Amino acid sequence: MKRTTGLDRSVNRKWRPATRAVRAGTWRSEQGETSEALFLTSGYAYDDAQTVADRFAGEASGMQYSRFQNPTVAMLEERIAAMEGAEACKVQASGMAAMTSALLCMLSSGDHLVAGRAAFGSCRWILANVLSRFGITHTVVDGRDNAAWEAAIQPSTKAFFFETPANPTLDVVDLEYVCGLARAHGIKTVVDNAFATSALQRPLEFGADIVAYSATKLMDGQGRVLAGAVCGSDEWINGTLSPFQRNTGPICSPFNAWVVLKGLETLDLRAHRQSENALEVGRAIEGRVARMLHPGLPSFPQHNLAMKQMDAAGPIFSFVVDGGRERAFAVLDALELIDISNNIGDSKSLACHPASTTHHNMGPEGRAEMGVEEGMIRLNVGLEDPRDLIEDLDQALGRAGL
Ligand SMILES: *Cc1c(COP(=O)(O)O)cnc(C)c1O
Given 264, 279, 307, which residue is the final one in a domain? 264
My answer on whether 136 and 116 are in the same domain is yes
210-254 tens-digit pLDDT: 999 999 999 999 999 999 999 999 999 999 999 999 999 999 999
Given 264, 286, 301, which residue is the final one in a domain? 264
27 CB near ligand 1 (under 6 Å): no
Query: Quick one: average pLDDT of 380-402?
Result: 97
The secondary structure element, H or E, covering residue 12 is: helix 9-14
My answer on whether 210 and 296 are in the same domain is no
Is residue 7 scored above 90 in pLDDT? no
Ligand 1 atom at minimal distance to the Cα of residue 163: 13
Q: How far is the CA of 270 from the centre of ligand 1 (A)?
A: 19
My answer on whether 95 and 23 are in the same domain is yes
Number of structural domains found in the chain:
2
Query: Quick one: average pLDDT of 373-402?
Result: 98
Is residue 341 scored above 60 in pLDDT? yes
Q: How far is the CA of 224 from the centre of ligand 1 (A)?
A: 14
Q: How far is the CA of 39 from the centre of ligand 1 (A)?
A: 26
My answer on whether 57 and 158 are in the same domain is yes
161 CB near ligand 1 (under 6 Å): no
* Residue 399 banded pLDDT, cuts 50, 70, 90: very high
My answer on whether 94 and 190 are in the same domain is yes
* Residue 4 banded pLDDT, cuts 50, 70, 90: low
Q: How far is the CA of 229 from the centre of ligand 1 (A)?
A: 11
Other Cβ atoms within 10 Å of 214 Cβ, number? 30
36 CB near ligand 1 (under 6 Å): no
Determine the structural domain holding residue 299 and report its residue range. Answer: 268-399
pTM equals 0.95
Q: Residue 10's pLDDT is what?
A: 52
Q: CATH no. for residue 279?
A: 3.90.1150.10
My answer on whether 392 and 330 are in the same domain is yes
Pocket probe for ligand 1: among 126, 171, 211, 216, the residue whose CB has the most ligand atoms within 8 Å is 216
My answer on whether 206 and 115 are in the same domain is yes
Mean pLDDT of the chain: 95
Separation between Cα atoms, residue 202 and residue 191, nearest integer Å = 10
Closest residue to atom 11 of ligand 1, CA basis: 120
Is residue 8 scored above 60 in pLDDT? no
Is residue 12 scored above 90 in pLDDT? no
50-60 tens-digit pLDDT: 999 999 999 99
Separation between Cα atoms, residue 51 and residue 46, nearest integer Å = 7
274-291 tens-digit pLDDT: 999 999 999 999 999 999
Closest residue to atom 6 of ligand 1, CA basis: 95
Q: How far is the CA of 221 from the centre of ligand 1 (A)?
A: 13
Q: Residue 229's pLDDT is what?
A: 98
Q: CATH no. for residue 148?
A: 3.40.640.10
My answer on whether 306 and 337 are in the same domain is yes
Closest residue to atom 5 of ligand 1, CA basis: 95
My answer on whether 144 and 70 are in the same domain is yes
Give the rounded percent of residues in the chain with a pLDDT score beyond 70: 97
My answer on whether 283 and 341 are in the same domain is yes
378 CB near ligand 1 (under 6 Å): no
On whether the CB atoms of residues 148 and 141 are closer than 8 A, the answer is: yes
Other Cβ atoms within 10 Å of 275 Cβ, number? 23
Q: Within 204-251, where are the H helices?
A: 234-236, 242-248
My answer on whether 97 and 133 are in the same domain is yes
Separation between Cα atoms, residue 209 and residue 187, nearest integer Å = 9
Closest residue to atom 1 of ligand 1, CA basis: 214
Given 211, 233, 264, which residue is the final one in a domain? 264
Separation between Cα atoms, residue 91 and residue 76, nearest integer Å = 8
My answer on whether 54 and 195 are in the same domain is yes
77-121 tens-digit pLDDT: 999 999 999 999 999 999 999 999 999 999 999 999 999 998 888
Pocket probe for ligand 1: among 91, 92, 96, the residue whose CB has the most ligand atoms within 8 Å is 96
